[in-house]
Amino acid sequence: MHPRRLLALPILAGLAILVADRLLWDAPLGLGAALLALALGAAVVVRGTPRPAAWAAVAMAAVLLLIDPGPLATILAVLALGGAALLARGWRPAAPAAAGRAVAGALLAALPRVIRDAYAVRRLRGRPLGISAWIVPLLGAAGFLVLFGIGNPVIGQWWGRLGDWLAEIGLPAPGRIVLWWAALFGAWTLARARSRAQTLQAVAAAVREPDALWTMRCLIAFNLAFVVQNACDLLYLWGGAGLPEGMTYASYAHRGAYPLVAAALLAGAFVLLCVRPGGVAERSPAARWLVLAFLIQTVVLAASSWWRLDLYVEAYGLSRWRLAALAWIGLVGLGLALIAWRIWRQRSGRWLVEANAWAVLAVLLVAALGDTDGLIANHNVERCLRGDASFDLAYIESLGVAALPALERLDHRRTDVATAAAIARLRGELHDQLSDWRGWSWRRLAVRSELAATASAPRARLLPAAR
């Protein structure tokens, strides 16, 4: 792309930073995230050919974030925005698995273009500075450290101290800087999510054959980031060393299974990219050792994550992970049945992949759009009302405002100070989220409507019929 045509990209990225800072920083995710998705999607679609399918993909991203802006909905919204960017450039989607690979590949291939485009805009000549080649690997390592900070209170404490130091000298907090970088890379990547020939074949080739030196740099940076997390776990979780003052082993072990599992999944995906046929691990002995080290560290991280999870869900009853395990077992069973059907009907391997992709997509959409937290809370409250002594009020409260209707029903049957306090805290959280228009979501408004209807109903109607 000619540098003059690239001049619009810094403007788009700057506007994305301003809008993201206004809509997301220091505010609950909800309507603000949906509006940001609409703004980014509209800007990218207008730069291409505004096809109806592209606008539909943008609308899907906004709806996903408006209904319930959780991690899964965010991932699906990003993929929808990537699809909108490609659709606006003439892409014709194929079956789900192929379309998903195409969108993910296009976004991954567009990431390195951000650095190259920045140099083109500045009209740099000659070989770029060596540090510039480490920008993407270091940002990736920083992303892992952010996940580790969420899941590891020791690393989270280090992030907090860094934020306090930056505040003292008048600089923005680390989280705000991360938001700015995410907005910049997100907007620029969406704008550049295409190959030079505007065909996905070149994009897929770029993802299949990453630069060996770039991959080595990523392996080095990612290994160092994982060393920090695994060293903390080996020292505190497995070794029993003394924790920093004010921190307990329970808080260390129970915190952050989800971010650590997410980090393990991302690491596994990167390992698959490195060890595929013809990949960098086959061409370089040093890369093989780095991949092996990274794989071992990912296994250690996964083991620590599962130990944390086991400690976190000691109580009986339904939990998010147990619900996810049920869905996973169902997908595995369906996959085995599809394999048997493929053998019997002599279907192709591509048919098997696409059939599994449809099943995974269906499960992801149900999980993203369904009220899973409300389902968990209702199930555990019903067990409690039947006399189950393993009811964990703290866990139900941790599910958030979606648990409010179930806790209200429990409070009508078994009023106690702890339940009333949990309801009061969640009501305050719901009020705070809805008091800011940026925090509006369909799920939160539905909970508020259900609570209003419950409060206006006669108390007798809230009690079950006598048996």
Digit-coded pLDDT (tens) for 122-142: 544 444 545 556 766 777 788
The burial class, CB within 10 Å (0-12 / 13-18 / 19+), for 418 is exposed
pLDDT of residue 467: 35
Letter for the amino acid at 389? Answer: A
Does the structure show a pLDDT above 50 at 271? Answer: yes
pLDDT at 195 (0 to 100): 41
Return the structure tokens found at 132.
């510039």
List pLDDT tens digits, range 329-387: 677 667 767 766 765 776 776 777 788 889 888 998 998 888 888 888 988 888 888 77
- Are 102 and 94 within 8 A, CB to CB? yes
Contact 152, 256 (CB under 8 A): yes
Q: What pLDDT sits at residue 354?
A: 85
Hey, is 392 helix, strand or coil? coil
Across 73-77, 151-155, 194-198, the highest mean pLDDT is recorded for 73-77
pLDDT above 90 as % of the chain: 3
Q: When comparing pLDDT for 249 and 48, which is higher?
A: 48
Q: Please give the span between the terminal C-alpha atoms of the chain, in angstroms, as a whole number.
A: 75
Q: How far apart are CA 159 and CA 176, in angstroms?
A: 12
Question: What angle separates helix 285-312 from helix 257-275, to the nearest 10 degrees?
Answer: 160
Q: Could you state, in order of their start, the residue ranges of all structural domains in the chain?
A: 1-208, 216-312, 320-369, 372-462
219 by Cβ neighbours in 10 Å (0-12 / 13-18 / 19+) ranks as buried
Report whether 202 contacts 195 (CB < 8 A). yes
pLDDT over 70 (residue 276):
no
Q: In which band, very low, low, confident or very high, does the pLDDT at 38 lie, cut at 50, 70 and 90?
A: very high
State which of 42-51, 56-65, 124-133, 458-467 shows the largest mean pLDDT: 56-65
Residue 4 scores a pLDDT above 60: no
- The predicted model gives 189-196 an average pLDDT of 66
User: Does the structure show a pLDDT above 50 at 207?
Assistant: no
CA triplet 14, 16, 17: central angle to 5 degrees? 65
CB contact set of 400 (below 8 Å; sequence gap of 6+): 373, 426, 429
Average pLDDT estimate for 23-29: 86
Q: What percent of the chain has pLDDT over 70?
A: 70
- Least confident stretch, 186-195, 197-206, 209-218, 293-302: 197-206
pLDDT of residue 457: 53
Q: How would you classify residue 210: left for phi > 0, otherwise alpha for psi between -120 and 50, otherwise beta?
A: beta
> What integer pLDDT is reported at residue 229 of this predicted model?
85
Tokens of 406: 């179930």
Is the confidence at residue 81, as pLDDT, over 80?
yes
Q: What is the pLDDT of residue 455?
A: 66
What is the Cα–Cα distance from 120 to 157, expressed in whole angstroms?
39
